[in-house]
Each structure stands twice: as C-alpha cells, then as structure tokens.
Amino acid sequence: MGLVMGAFSMQSKQVNYHTDKVDDDLELSVVCHRPEGLEKLEAQTNFSKKELQVLYRGFKNECPSGVVNEETFKQIYSQFFPHGDASTYAHYLFNAFDSSHNESIKFEDFVMALSILLRGTTTEKLQWTFNLYDINRDGYINKEEMTDIVKAIYDMMGRFTYPALRTDTPKQHVDAFFQKMDKNRDGVVTLDEFILSCQEDENIMRSLQLFENVI
C-alpha cells in the first residue's frame, strides 16, 4: 500500500534524475596544460613579453585549465555575433587555430595564430587565410569548401539583413571569388594562385594592415 501511496503522492512533480554531464567537463578540466616558457614564446612569436603576459592572463582567466575545446570556442565566438549562428564558422576557425590538430587550442596555438594575424607579413597572413579556407587540408580550395565557408559567414549575418539574403547569394559570392582567384581555371585554387591574386588586389592589401593594432 505504501508503494501505491508513494506513486500517487509524487504525481505533482516529475523528478528526473539524469546522469551528470558534468563528469565529461570534469575530465577535461582536470587535464591542465602549461605553456612553454615566456622566452621561448617570445622568440617564436612577434609579441613582446608584456603583450604575452597580458594575453596569457586573459587566456588563463577564461580557461583556467589552459586549453580551449571546440564547444567553449564556439560559445565564445558566438557571443560576438548574436544576430546569427556563428557555430559553423567557429568550427572552421577552431580548426585553423588548432594547428596541432588535437581538438583543443592551447595557449601556444592561440598566440602563434595571433602573432601571424597581427604581426605577421602579408604572405603569412594570406597563408593562414588559405589554411582557413582549405578545410580538408589538401592544399587546394575547391568550390565546395569555399561554398561551405561562405555559407558559414553568411550564417553569421542572421536572417534579418538588408538587402534580404537570397538562397543563391553564397553561390554567387563563391563564383565571383573563383573568377578572381582561379587563374588557370582548373576549378581549384592553390596557395600560389591565392597569394598572387590577393597581392594584385589593392583593397585586400590595404585591409590587411587594418588589424595590426588590435592588441
């Protein structure tokens, strides 16, 4: 009878006990990573000691464990683009940052990428961008990869844009890009084609200098 009563009395509230997802997070956070020494990083990157210190403090504050996994990365990046969905692009970005390809960004990866993006030569920057676009890392950018990237970028815009987004806008954008970049019209863009085409474009060259003062 007590069982029956118990079953009846619990009717008002459904109590669900689900397994903790925290356990997974716990594992990751237990793994701690410490970066290489300050001097070494200073030698490898174009940042001064002070800048590295500032960067690391910010990094460590956000990720006390010393590594960023893709979920966290997506969350952080999405916060900058609240209008749309930045998760796809963040995924590509994460892969571009994760130079050691172990599904996590350590401080060294972070700082190296920043060093290139902010203090590198134009060639290095363009190379980094090429790596970003080349999703499967085969050395060639084909139309599908480019379409994915462009779609991801347009996703970040969200639904409410002016003028309104049409379904073929990404495709048109990709076609224009290939028109410019694919010199030998073989349907793929190689690194050299890419760098050459970009160097020919005044606007791109000028814009590359814009982001130098970010840090």
Nearer to other proteins, 118 or 165 (CB): 118
Which structure tokens are listed for 200?
């020919």
Q: Which is nearer to other proteins, 143 or 173 (CB)?
A: 173
Is the separation of the CB atoms in 111 and 55 below 8 Å?
yes
Among 147, 145, 197, residue whose Cα is nearest residue 169: 147
Q: Does 165 bind other proteins (CB under 8 A)?
A: no
Across the chain, the runs of DSSP E, i.e. the strands, are 67-69, 104-106, 140-142, 188-190
- 112 makes contact with other proteins (CB under 8 A): no
Give the tokens for residue 23: 């356990």
191 is an interface residue for other proteins by CB under 8 A = no
Site for other proteins in 53-92 (CB under 8 A): 53-54, 57-59, 61-62, 76-77, 79-80
Q: Is 180 exposed, middle or buried (0-12, 13-18, 19+ CB in 10 A)?
A: middle
Residue ranges that bind other proteins, judged by CB under 8 A: 1-2, 4-5, 8-9, 50-51, 53-54, 57-59, 61-62, 76-77, 79-80, 93, 96, 110, 113-114, 117-118, 125-126, 128-129, 132-133, 149-150, 153, 173, 176-177, 181, 194, 198, 203-204, 206-208, 210-211, 213-215
